[in-house]
Amino acid sequence: MKPRKLTLPPHYRLQDVLAFHRRDSESVAEQVEQQRLRKGLLCEGSAAVLTIDFDAAHAPTTARYQLDLDGAAGAATPAMLEQVLHSVLGLRLDPQPFCDFAADDPLFGPLTRAQPGLRVVQSATLFEALTWAIIGQQINLTFAIALRRTLIQQAGRQHSSGLWCYPDAPAVATLEVEALTSRKFSRAKAETVLRLARLVADGSLQLELSASNSIEQVSQALLAVKGIGPWTVNYGLLRGYGYADCSLHGDVAVRAALQHLLGEDSKPDMARTEQFLARYRPHRTMAAAHLWASLHPRSAD
């Protein structure tokens, strides 16, 4: 497909976006340079690489993007490309409504002013976001990235350029549990990933939002899947849908940041954290994002 141009919002924090996609040091499915992001993905059954070039390393105003397909583009390719582009660049959720909401808040007002333009980056697809949420349950980031790499190389597809494409649900559904447990997945985690994949692949679990399938219905359907709890659902909604009101009260880092923000000697428990975050409805996702960012403050781009 021919290169196209995208105008980026003011105060766009490119380094935050690149840091999210740079997590895998082996660059299996993503390659990150100072002003470029390459992401492997499946597009209507074909392996593809999305390349995004930014006009500046800090506070870029435009980006040029191109999709390189190992096959012909289908009718749904342009719409899918737009969805993926907005997800991987963190453009699904506008951060300004929370900044306005919290402007006079004694806790979050200073945080939002210290981190202007802070955004939440999404995974390229809903399935990638949800499997990543399962993989990341109760383990450190380095180990989670290694497990993610395993899943990609076990069920994904390699583009002609060599970059791997994150697998879709039908591909993961064909795996046996031993394909993952033999590579450091716990049995419970492997079974949950495969269970989700098979439910999505056979149509029992619909992830796409529609007039008859709301975000609340998706949440309840996910909670009914064995091995998936509230944290996984909320984190999956955050990374998959860019949903504005995810409650990350079960997240250890959110609780640690809240402890620091409140100046207390210990982390608040989940019940108290949930009660605290409820004050910021319907903007709890951005509240969590600012709490995360407060643990690793950086100057604005």
The CA distance from 203 to 297, in Å, is 42
pLDDT digits (tens, 9 = 90+) for 45-83: 899 999 999 999 988 999 999 999 998 888 889 999 999
Overall average pLDDT of the 124-153 stretch = 96
**Final residue of a structural domain among 241, 256, 273:** 241
Q: Residue 299's pLDDT is what?
A: 46
Residue 196 lies in a domain: yes
Lookup: tokens for 142: 């380095």
Task: Tell me the residue range of the domain where 180 lies.
Answer: 126-241
The count of domains in the chain is 2
- Helices 126-135, 141-155: axis angle to 10 degrees equals 130
- Count CB-CB contacts under 10 A for residue 90: 23
Quote the percentage of the chain above a pLDDT of 90: 93
**Final residue of a structural domain among 91, 116, 145:** 91
Residue 101 lies in a domain: no
- Count CB-CB contacts under 10 A for residue 221: 17
Q: Are residues 235 and 142 in the same domain?
A: yes
pLDDT digits (tens, 9 = 90+) for 210-234: 999 999 999 999 999 999 999 999 9
Q: Confidence band (pLDDT; 50, 70, 90) for 300? A: very low
- Count CB-CB contacts under 10 A for residue 58: 14
Kindly report the CA angle at 83 between 215 and 166, in degrees rounded to 5?
95
Query: Three-class SS string for 156-223?
Result: CEECCCCCEECCCHHHHHCCCCHHHHCCCCCHHHHHHHHHHHHHHHCCCCCCCCECCECHHHHHHHHH
Q: Are residues 62 and 148 in the same domain?
A: no
